[in-house]
Amino acid sequence: MGEDLEQLKQRLPLLDYLRQQNWIGRPAGQGPEFVGLCPLHHETRPSFYVNARKNLFYCHGCGQGGDLIRFVELSQHLSFRHSLTYLEQQSALADPDTVLRQASVFYQQQLDRYPEARRYLEQRGVRDPALIRELQIGYAPGGSLRRHLLAQGCSLDLLRHTGLVNPQGHDTFYQRVVFPCCQDGRIVNLYGRSLGTAFAHRFLPGSKGNLFAWESVRQFPSVVLVEGMFDLAVLWQAGFRHATCALGTHLTADQLQQLCDRPRTVYLTFDVDANGSGQQAAHALAHRLRAQGITSRRVLLPSGHDPNSFFVQGGDARQFHSLLEAAPL
Ligand SMILES: [Zn+2]
């Protein structure tokens, strides 16, 4: 308990907390002290001091003083125990991981409220409700995330910092189906696929994370690597649970490392598009994999197809299995 308390106070320094609550303090001299109006009693001349190094406050006006928890007890009129619960929530909401998780949960809750989102999934051949839950697919209608997260106690600064809200203060994702991107079990980004005319693919700033669901896929002696989340969704739905996705054809160094973490065969299943870019990317990746001692095979879908369109237009598991078997080295 004592340990947790110290950690909590370090995670959420008193001065940061006060500033989140709009307290304005000026440096009091050269040291780590700040002074401002007391939030605990009415005054016109500043007598509330905060020592940022000691993480303590003292007010010469009302005589109150102590640490962050004491301050919360006094300012929120909460018991010691309730102050701790309150602060645990506050410090969690100052953490980008938590905010991305909350955004993902919110988007998942929206999915059933917007028929256009369900229709879009249907069009892309994603129907299984259990799979939709498992992939944590959500929908960003746009215009409601900011309000929701602010009401949960997130700061606007943090929403901007994560990129969930743009510099103008609006939701970044509008009318997009949203998938979480994870790394080591944490959500590090969100991918949004536009339903409308906006640019199709969008991420928040920062890393796109690990290969999708790598914890469960890495155990297989062979894996199917696809470009997009809708490719992965239809493959999983058809029983190809050894499919993973790099969200694009260019693998990050970490993602390449993951593919090469043990001997395995990688089925490169990129788009077969008219300009040949998917196949060029597959060719280049095959090279990089061979240099690491990994065997790869290029899956040749019918011309103009990606795995998603292959299944949407009537392809089935047996046919896809034959394509895997026929894939040239
Ligand atoms: Zn005071």
3-state secondary structure string, the chain?
CHHHHHHHHHHCCHHHHHHHCCCCCEECCCCCEEEECCCCCCCCCCCEEEECCCCEEEECCCCCEECHHHHHHHHHCCCHHHHHHHHHHHHHCCCHHHHHHHHHHHHHHHHHHCHHHHHHHHHCCCCCHHHHHHCCCEEECCCCHHHHHHHCCCCHHHHHHHCCECCCCCECCCCEEEEEEEECCEEEEEEEEECCCCCCEEECCCCCCCCCCHHHHCCCCEEEEECCHHHHHHHHHCCCCCEEECCCCCCCHHHHHHHCCCCCEEEEECCCCCCCHHHHHHHHHHHHHHHCCCEEEECCCCCCCCHHHHHHCCCCHHHHHHHHHHCCC
Ligand 1: centre distance to CA 13 (Å): 20
Q: What is the pLDDT of residue 8?
A: 86
Ligand 1: centre distance to CA 26 (Å): 16
Ligand 1: centre distance to CA 15 (Å): 16
- The answer, yes or no, to whether residue 2 has pLDDT greater than 70, is no
- The answer, yes or no, to whether residue 52 has pLDDT greater than 80, is yes
> The dihedral of CA 287, 209, 231, 213: what is its sign?
positive
- The answer, yes or no, to whether residue 30 has pLDDT greater than 70, is yes
Ligand 1: centre distance to CA 84 (Å): 22
- The answer, yes or no, to whether residue 161 has pLDDT greater than 80, is yes
Ligand 1: centre distance to CA 238 (Å): 66
For residue range 255-298, list pLDDT tens digits in order. 999 999 999 999 999 998 878 888 899 999 999 999 999 999 99
| Mean pLDDT across 225-237 | 97
- What count of Cα atoms within 13 Å lies in the side-chain half-sphere of residue 258? 24
Q: What is the pLDDT of residue 3?
A: 62
- The answer, yes or no, to whether residue 61 has pLDDT greater than 70, is yes
Q: What is the pLDDT of residue 1?
A: 53
Average pLDDT value over all residues in the chain: 93
Q: What is the pLDDT of residue 273?
A: 83
Percent of the chain with pLDDT over 90: 79
More confident: 293 or 30: 293
| Mean pLDDT across 226-231 | 96
| Mean pLDDT across 19-32 | 87
Taking CA atoms, 303 is separated from 230, 232, 275, 311, in Å, by 18, 19, 11, 14
Ligand 1: centre distance to CA 121 (Å): 57
Residue 297: closest CA among 264, 273, 272: 264
Lowest mean pLDDT among 23-32, 64-73, 164-173: 23-32
| Mean pLDDT across 65-93 | 92
Ligand 1: centre distance to CA 39 (Å): 7
Ligand 1: centre distance to CA 41 (Å): 5
> The dihedral of CA 180, 183, 189, 191: what is its sign?
negative
Percent of the chain with pLDDT over 70: 99
Residues with CB under 5 A from ligand 1 (ion): 38, 40-41, 59, 61-62
Q: What is the pLDDT of residue 151?
A: 84
